[in-house]
Structure 1
């Protein structure tokens, strides 16, 4: 491992024209490295970056002058890039990223890591993000690490060793943070309707957004909950400290909350520091169906942009505007079917700024197929779709739509059923 200062980094010696550079998503970005890379982009020539969800301002639309930008979707500050038409989205499940990297289908020439200082054994923790980092490390020609003394040492699978790092830069800077989402009365109503579907001893996957956060805040009266999630948020601390989470009945990883990302504030980072009750793992553990099917009473909690009256889910785009991503939604929804006692909850307000979110036809792609959908919840009720006919599904979905939209949806349903009936003649 060679140690340099950030001023000594000469990216023309590190990144070749045509290379693909990766770095940690969510709050795990090595910002000192990414800022330095972007500042020297013109001297490198044309190269490519691959990004997951981002919450920094490192990449801007004008940086497309030398950087080709690819990524998982328009999460966080990627939305600015998507709106400017400079982000090329690669549709894939989060569970596919690691295998695609390792196979070479998704190139990774240089990986930029943000690591904690080493422990007494000389091992570095990946800190805030552990999803497809190991796959990138194994594939990359060059591993460059920002060792930031403000990164917590979070227990993780396969801590990083010095011999895996080619170049290290030592820093001390505040970490990216994701404050808790503001929770509205509609969010709370949806969360209240979800409560009966989350019994004691459930194992929770917590998606992004205000409704999952509202649900987590209401679960302190539960007993022996478990956590197996793509990310952890601040509100999980309250569940653990209240005694609601024990992780004793998950079926695997008992006694430990498992995640691939920390998406919160300094409170969460300090809580996870050297905490034996937390374990950060790659997506080969958090999202793999062979692992997930071993979980008991697995409850996935996710949201959507819109859902059609038959149960097809769009979480990616409204028309031609890409605003979301596939993420781990389908991975976790399918896992709920494999888990004994599992359920998947898809939750959203019945209306948004652009009208009804229960629609006759999706305006964007199908993220989750209707055959995979289990329960849909709006502030107007709960639609149980698992094992239901198309006609039953349509009736249930209309019943939880905004009242002022139900007549229009009824007309669309009549036309759909008529056309479907005619197609079977």
Structure 2
């Protein structure tokens, strides 16, 4: 039987041990009340460590997180600020690997801190806004501390039974929200090129942000779109309500949008509450190669920091600055590129730093997130370069054509050198 507490009566020292490894729910499923308690009470328990995949709450600041070692799969969301000064340890791994790594004990989990909805009549708490590796953490943890939040929607899919919870901390607090980013002319141009690859009956995977939002706004005239994604924002609700997304042509999960994280505003959360047309699933379903391999017309849309002239993608770092993460990019790049009638799109603006730096480059300044052998289509505001099945020389020429005009002459010389070498 879970111990029932309120935020005022929660004493973490009664449940935590020195050296405990904590895994916390991420994104808009971040348990803010539990995080506040950890920041305030953590110094009383030595040598704590915390893994969180992403964060948008703004709570993670170097001074606040000084009492525990922080790790993540990348500097995603507001964790980016924690990389400066070495306050974040990055574990490079695909999203699909996080759950198995927890289950195997490679990413340690002594304590799971999660946010859930109030229980239904059967004692099941919905995982609410995030369902990726939550169940894996709950299954592995010695102690499960759940923030039972009245404001969290009950979404269908992954659930946690009351009997699996050791400590239930009851609250009524607005979950973390991520508002839509403003869409620039560049974002809109990239979106137009991406939308051209999405036809009737396509199954879409995308993230959140200005470009994904801009793409979704261009799909109002499509028919029978489906969703199988790791995350989605408010645009999902708009297209479902418009009848554009109905998942009618999907070979699996017909009629249901499959998703792992709802990252948006109260509008999205209210829409998802007890909505049978949305199922929140673990990464063992959202990102699994065998599952994705059953979908035709899958169009995956991901982002990058830079792309070199052979098609290698860096979505993690620029020089010494760690800016992103591996995420689920490779999982979905492979799936989209191999899906019959589908595509994998990597979308990025052609320049950075006010136009002074090209994102199409001769050589990457950071790690290779996605190998050139996996890449299908690269999109900038200047067009789409289809790389799959093309030689290195052909790739370089196609990528020069979608670079910013100010950099094409220099890049063309590099492309010529590739053509001369043949590799």
TM range (shorter): over 0.9
Q: Does the 8 Å contact 2:123/2:162 carry over to 1? A: yes
- Secondary structure of the corresponding residue to residue 387 of structure 1: coil
- Secondary structure of the corresponding residue to residue 179 of structure 2: coil
Cα deviations by residue, 1:83-104 (Å, 9 ceiling, x for unpaired):
2311010000000000000001
Aligned equivalents of 2:181, 2:121: Cα separation in 1 = 37
1:358 aligns with 2:360: yes
The aligned residue for residue 79 of structure 1 is: 80
Cα deviations by residue, 1:366-403 (Å, 9 ceiling, x for unpaired):
00111111011111111010000000000000011001
5+ long unaligned stretches in structure 1: none
Residue 5 of structure 1: CA displacement? 2.1
Q: Does the 8 Å contact 1:209/1:303 carry over to 2? A: no
Q: How does 1:166-245 map to 2 (within 5 A)?
A: 166-245=166-245
- Secondary structure of the corresponding residue to residue 412 of structure 1: helix
Q: Does the 8 Å contact 1:49/1:68 carry over to 2? A: yes
Distance change in 2, residues 1:265/1:65 (3 Å): closer
Cα deviations by residue, 1:258-290 (Å, 9 ceiling, x for unpaired):
100000000000000000101000000000001
Q: Does the 8 Å contact 1:38/1:59 carry over to 2? A: no
Q: Does the 8 Å contact 2:303/2:315 carry over to 1? A: yes
Aligned equivalents of 1:346, 1:357: Cα separation in 2 = 12
1:317 aligns with 2:346: no
Aligned equivalents of 1:414, 1:257: Cα separation in 2 = 45
Residue 65 of structure 1: CA displacement? 3.6
Residue 13 of structure 1: CA displacement? 2.3
Q: Does the 8 Å contact 1:349/1:357 carry over to 2? A: yes
The aligned residue for residue 32 of structure 1 is: 33
The aligned residue for residue 371 of structure 2 is: 369
Aligned equivalents of 2:156, 2:77: Cα separation in 1 = 26
Residue 172 of structure 1: CA displacement? 0.6
Q: Does the 8 Å contact 1:2/1:167 carry over to 2? A: yes
The aligned residue for residue 67 of structure 1 is: 68
Q: Does the 8 Å contact 1:177/1:266 carry over to 2? A: yes
The aligned residue for residue 382 of structure 1 is: 384
- Secondary structure of the corresponding residue to residue 114 of structure 2: strand
- Secondary structure of the corresponding residue to residue 267 of structure 1: helix
The aligned residue for residue 270 of structure 1 is: 270
Aligned equivalents of 1:209, 1:375: Cα separation in 2 = 19
Q: Does the 8 Å contact 1:249/1:296 carry over to 2? A: no
Q: How does 1:122-137 map to 2 (within 5 A)?
A: 122-137=123-138
Aligned equivalents of 1:174, 1:84: Cα separation in 2 = 31
Aligned equivalents of 1:278, 1:360: Cα separation in 2 = 43
Cα deviations by residue, 1:20-78 (Å, 9 ceiling, x for unpaired):
11111111011111110110111101110001110113222124542111111111110
Distance change in 2, residues 1:115/1:74 (3 Å): same
The aligned residue for residue 47 of structure 1 is: 48
- Secondary structure of the corresponding residue to residue 300 of structure 2: strand
The aligned residue for residue 112 of structure 1 is: 113
- Secondary structure of the corresponding residue to residue 394 of structure 1: helix
Alignment size in residue pairs: 420
Aligned equivalents of 2:403, 2:70: Cα separation in 1 = 38
Residues 11-20 or 105-114, more deviating: 11-20
Match of 1:400 among 381, 402, 405: 402
Q: How does 1:86-101 map to 2 (within 5 A)?
A: 86-101=87-102
Aligned equivalents of 2:365, 2:344: Cα separation in 1 = 23
- Secondary structure of the corresponding residue to residue 346 of structure 2: strand
- Secondary structure of the corresponding residue to residue 126 of structure 2: coil
Aligned equivalents of 1:248, 1:394: Cα separation in 2 = 39
- Secondary structure of the corresponding residue to residue 187 of structure 1: helix
Residue 417 of structure 1: CA displacement? 4.0
Residue 337 of structure 1: CA displacement? 3.0
Q: Does the 8 Å contact 1:375/1:382 carry over to 2? A: yes
- Secondary structure of the corresponding residue to residue 4 of structure 2: strand
Q: Does the 8 Å contact 1:208/1:303 carry over to 2? A: no
> What's the C-alpha RMSD, in Å, of the aligned pairs?
1.2
Aligned equivalents of 2:12, 2:190: Cα separation in 1 = 49
Residue 216 of structure 1: CA displacement? 0.6
- Secondary structure of the corresponding residue to residue 160 of structure 1: strand
Aligned equivalents of 1:337, 1:76: Cα separation in 2 = 27
Q: Does the 8 Å contact 1:206/1:231 carry over to 2? A: yes
Distance change in 2, residues 1:290/1:361 (3 Å): same
- Secondary structure of the corresponding residue to residue 40 of structure 1: helix
5+ long unaligned stretches in structure 2: none
Aligned equivalents of 2:249, 2:208: Cα separation in 1 = 24
